Structure 1
Amino acid sequence: MSGAGSNRGAFAAGRLPRGGAGTSSFAIRFQPMLRSKMNPRVFWGASAIAGVLLLVALVAPGASDLFFGRAQAWVIDTFGWFYVASVAGFLAVAAYLALGPTGRLKLGPDDAEPDFPYVSWLAMLFAAGMGIGLMYFAVAEPIQHYAAPPEAAPGTLDAAREAMVITFTHWGVHAWAVYAMVGLSLAYFAHRKGLPLTLRSGLSPLLGKRINGPIGDAVDIFAICGTLFGIATSLGLGVSQINSGLNYLTGLPNTPWMQVGLIALVMAAATASVLTGLDKGVRRLSELNLVLAVLLMLFVLVVGPTGFLLKALVQNFGLYLDHFFVRTFNLYAYEPRGWMANWTLFYWAWWIAWSPFVGMFIARISRGRTVRQFIIGVLLVPTGFTFLWMTVFGNTAISLDMGQAAGAISQAVQTDLSTAIFHFLENLPGAAITSTLAVLLVAVFFVTSADSGSLVIDTIASGGADDTPRWQRVYWCTLEGLTAAALLLAGGLSALQAATLLAALPFTVIIILLCLALIRQMNADLKGETVETETPPLGERLKRIFAPASRRDIARQMQRHGVPALTEVREALVAEGLDQSRVEADEQAVWLVVPHAEGRDFLYRLGARSRPLPAITPLDAPEGRRAIEWRMTAQTGEGTRPRDVTGFTRQQIVADVLDHLQAWRLV
């Protein structure tokens, strides 16, 4: 998740001006260390659950290992079918929303323009698909399935074909359907409905105002716990691979306590990033990491069996399509085997646990996209890259194992999955250099995942706020590291897998409810059944139906909704120390200005704009009415295109301002 590393809070101390009205001097405001911005019930509730599990794992690692093993067996036996059916259902719902009439709805107002150009947006989705998992499993999974397939004879051509089909299934559209549904819910209710960027907002069509009570708190707590254990699993896999790489390169001992020490070092780097606010530095490092990962893939493609890999990519995709429905619903019900728990069910639970993390990232960057663009982009772009990545590494590893490696890669993977990529690279030129690069790539993915993960968890724990104090992010960053370390000591990879399966179970139910709420809200929006926060008088409603808006109508909307919204945002900015923020107005418009020390001020302007009516309209305007209508428009910055925000409520205008303020802050 290198792309998620750039999603930071709206403000950082000292980055924006402060001072009294009319002054030109700037001052840095240092926030008190223990200032907090949280939902205490969610923050401490999730902390208590994680703390209890950590305490048990640290005090009684043997007993906790036994507990995790039994819990995993119980989940598989009782709810394995539920995971498989749920993931298949998420994919079906995604296809329904994308291909049906709901596909034309926008993640924002109907005339909202995307925050990012299409190519840039696709590039960020591409970045979202990269992470520790692809580095860890690129060689390990195909080789593992080739050496010990669930159905074919081990080490045969049939096993090789089956290995790639299974790998494509685990890393294909099923995973991204889970991410798409969570991300779509977050984006739709935040960008279009003006609700906070939290999971509970997506349940508002089902629960109404009750989302602000204990039920909403429980939803966010489960989301935090699922994300926490999902990230801990990734960190555990990552540190295992780092330790194996250092052992291969330098002879450093490969032990659980050494891995705990490495977790401490890498988490210290992530904490330093949080404390020093190295937003741009981490973002640049993430981008560099992505480039290096692609270069490593291209290196393997060029020095490996290039022609075979290109043919294998096409054939793998064809076999994936051919086995799509069988693999989607396969549970080995007639011939039970532990393979399902170790692979497919673990993956489905891992994707579900990770979904708030990835979902929030893709929701943040997708404002202004249609539902169809969002779902198709999220399902296809990262999946396409992943298929290429897995083919290059997986098929090259299988080819080498069949040839010059003579089974050595399979034997190494059977002994320790985390060593797979290093035994693979030693069969290619420049093994020392590429192995060092692989260790560095995993380490940076580790840092950015921990840093970004702490931000996502803190955002959920703070009711959608993204300008929380740094100590809260440090707190969650530390808890992520402690969770990963405790689970490694309690049972290694098996404990990580069991914790992920357990944490994802309640959150699966939440995603199902999010899907139902999303369908209900989108269908209501298509039928025009949304209810305004403030219902206008009957005469005004009839006027909107039978006559175009006048200049006076827009002036009334601006006075009733626009001015209070901008004033509310300005007061919040002042409370955060940005005293030079101001709201100004003239006869034509009202605007909010947030000055910047470098002269790059933020401007949000609400104004009235007229446009001609169509030459032929279905309704006749009253006599004497001018052949134009007026609209309320919002403009962000000089020279930008005005957006139609007619009919926006105060809450929706506030949400629109914050969205553009966030985009301005990230530039």
Structure 2
Amino acid sequence: MKNLNLGLAIPAIVTVLFILLVSSLYPEQAQGLAGNAMTFVTDWFGWLVQLSSLALVGFLLWLAFSKYGNIRLGDDKPEYSNFSYGGMIFTAGVGASLIYWGIGEPMYYLQSPPLFAEANSYSAAAWSVTYSIFHWGITGWAIYCFPAIPFAYAFYVKKQRTLKLSTLCEPVLGRNKFIAKCIDLLAIFGTLSAFASSLALTVTLLSAGTAQLLGVENNLVLQGSIILLFVLVLFAVTLVGFNKGINKVSDYTVISAIIFALFVLFSSNVQFILNNFTDSVGVMLDSFFRMSLWTDPVQQSGFPQAWTQYYWFWYYAYLIMMGLFITRISRGRTIREVILYSISMGSLGCAFFISIFGGYAVWAQLLGGYPIQDWMSEGGLTFAVVSLIQTLPAKNLVLALFLIIQFFLMLTTMSSASVATSMLTTNQLSLNGDPDIKVKLLWAAAIALISFSVFLTGGGINTIKSLCVVAGLPMMFIYGILIKQIMMELKGKSELREPLTQPLVSKKLIA
């Protein structure tokens, strides 16, 4: 397998597995160290991540509507329809976590509200869905989107055949093998650890729902069986190929999720949900800059650190996976299209699902007579989510459909992680950006190994989650390097008086 960079792949995989093993053998010490590291990062650099992330939103919007936004990434027409393109970006970025946290976050915000509101008050209710939409909205998708610009420009315009992160940073940092290796390993570690955290959450939800549905015990055997099913389907999708695999799975999953969300909307209090959505969007638009920069230095409630800053650092850790995946599907798109589709489709898609599921949860708790917060106290958020789904008509059938949709949402994230890590560790990519099938299968196997290890090592996932956020700090500084690098490239192109818009070339003419 000569096309695989084993010097990057093996150390990254071993590091994640080693951390899982050590944290399972010494759970208290490992979680304590990782938790202290995460606290240090948010206490000292939380203000910086909030300022930087807001500035990134402004930079991307400027870039999209500047003359550079017309630059076409490649000579061909767009490879995928607008629906498929937006759907793949959306499903890769949210996985199965969206609906889970779309229900969970508003409940947490009701109990521990932001911006000095009292718990379970009308003011807390107004912020509950609002902050969920904010955390899954424009800023997060801007962080996800940005690395796709330098990656796609290097691959489709400059025709570079390797997409290591260190290669993009080289014009700014110079050539240093040690620094380059650290940057690349950090990128892979962030992807694998963030993925492992998402998978742990999803499998826990699926196993709890399956146990409730089938009346079986929720144990390690059930969780292992679910992971095995993930692995088998992942291998099948990988063997089928990108266009017939991930593309089709993404399309069908998005359609199914939308239909399911509409069912929830019209099976519950549709009037409340629509009014609550309208109010939440209004509150967010009115307070967007306040929410983006609120650090709570006087009251020190810890809300910005535990939620907003945590999310932003998490997005930075996960960014390379999203950047490479968006690169893979963006051939033929302009820079403007990549930015606007990523931010708009991601933000609107999240707002759609959060407003319905989160709105239903708020109505159920405050007006519907369902004790969701008591369910959370008794059995955790997973139990509360499953219980809330079962308050809908035809509860067992609806729960089964919910679990199937969650499975395929997570599968798209697994597939995206496999493609991204394959691209990052491939020495020479093909012209369409698709890694060798052997490399993709190897990474599918590696992701499977990490997936099983997450549950075999028990509590290690909490340490991984903390370290994932810590890894987001250096990635935030790498963003600054990438901004300087891409502007050097774009300005250089302009100074050479090359056409800023790449012409579309017919495939028939090429043939």
Same-fold call, TM cutoff 0.5: yes
Q: Would you say 1:199 and 2:165 are equivalent positions?
A: yes
Question: Which of these residues, 113, 121, 127, is aligned with residue 149 of structure 1?
Answer: 113
User: What residue in structure 1 maps to residue 432 of structure 2?
Assistant: none
Q: Structure 1 residues 350 and 334, CA, compared in 2 at 3 Å: closer, same or farther? A: same
- The gaps in structure 2 that reach 5 residues or longer are 430-434
Question: What percentage of residue pairs aligned between the two structures are identical?
Answer: 25
Q: Do structure 1's residue 67 and structure 2's residue 33 form an aligned pair?
A: yes
Does residue 158 of the first structure (1) align with residue 87 of the second (2)? no
User: Counterpart of 1:590?
Assistant: none
1:190–1:197 Cα contact (<8 Å) kept? yes
Conservation of the 8 A alpha-carbon contact between 2:133 and 2:351? yes
Query: What corresponds to 1:87 in structure 2?
Result: 53
Cα 1:359/1:436, change in 2 over 3 Å: same
Distance 1:246 1:122, change over 3 A: closer
Task: State whether structure 2 residue 128 is matched by structure 1 residue 168.
Answer: no
Partners of 2:247 and 2:384 lie apart in 1 by 29
Pair member with larger Rg: 1
Cα–Cα, structure 1 residues 121 and 145, in superposed 2: closer, same or farther, change >3 Å?
Answer: same
Q: In structure 2, which of residues 409, 417, 441 is the aligned counterpart of residue 453 of structure 1?
A: 417
- Alignment deviations for residues 160-194 of structure 1 (CA, whole Å, 9 cap, x no partner): 11112211110000111011111112111111111
The offset of 1:91, in angstroms, is 1.4
Q: Name the amino acid aligned to 1:87.
A: S
- After the TM superposition, which residues 256-655 of structure 1 pair with which residues of structure 2 at under 5 Å, given as runs? 257=220, 261-262=224-225, 264-270=227-233, 272-273=235-236, 276-277=239-240, 280=244, 283-406=247-370, 408-415=371-378, 416-463=380-427, 465=429, 466-467=435-436, 469-470=438-439, 471-482=441-452, 484-485=454-455, 489-490=458-459, 494-528=462-496, 635-636=506-507, 638=508
TM-score (norm 1): 0.69
Q: Which moved more, 1:316-325 or 1:140-149?
A: 140-149
CA RMSD of aligned residues (A): 2.8
For residues 428 and 200 of structure 1, the distance between their equivalents in structure 2, rounded to whole angstroms, comes to: 50
Q: Distance in 1 between matches of 2:360 and 2:414?
A: 31
Q: Which residue of 2 aligns with 1:229?
A: 193
Structure 1, unaligned runs of 5 or more: 1-34, 531-631, 643-656, 658-667
Aligned length: 497
**Aligned mates of 2:90, 2:230 — CA distance in 1:** 25
- For residues 307-329 of structure 1, the C-alpha deviation after alignment (integer angstroms, 9 at most, x for no partner) is 33223222221111111001111
| Aligned pairs for 1:124-135 within 5 A | 124-128=88-92, 130-135=94-99
- Whether the aligned pair in 1 keeps the contact of 2:165 and 2:184 (CA below 8 Å) is yes
- Post-superposition offset of 1:85: 2.6
Structure 1 CA distance for aligned equivalents of residues 448 and 437 of structure 2: 16
Tell me how far 1:94 sits from its aligned partner. 0.9
Does structure 2 conserve the Cα–Cα contact (< 8 Å) formed by 1:129 and 1:386?
no
Distance 1:96 1:278, change over 3 A: closer
Alpha-carbon distance, 1:517 to partner:
1.0
Query: 1:152 touches 1:159 (CA, 8 Å); kept in 2?
Result: yes
Q: Which amino acid aligns with 2:141?
A: W
Residues 130 and 76 of structure 1, relative CA distance in 2, 3 Å threshold: closer
Tell me: CA distance 1:42–1:527, structure 2 relative to 1, closer, same or farther (3 Å).
same
Matched letter for residue 153 of structure 2: Y
Cα distance in structure 1, aligned partners of 2:267 and 2:213: 22
Q: Which amino acid aligns with 1:177?
A: A
- The alpha carbon displacement at 1:414 in A equals 4.2
Amino acid at match of 1:311: N
Change (3 A) 1:90 1:66: same
1:507 Cα deviation (Å)? 1.9
Q: Measure the CA separation in 2 of the matches of 1:451 and 1:133.
A: 16
Q: Which residue of 2 aligns with 1:44?
A: 10
Structure with the bigger percentage of strand: 1
Higher RCO, 1 or 2 (CA under 8 Å, sep at least 6)? 2
Query: How far apart are residue 278 of structure 1 and its match?
Result: 6.6
Amino acid across the alignment from 1:166: Y
More helix by share: 2
Distance 1:263 1:148 in 2: 34
Amino acid at match of 1:363: T
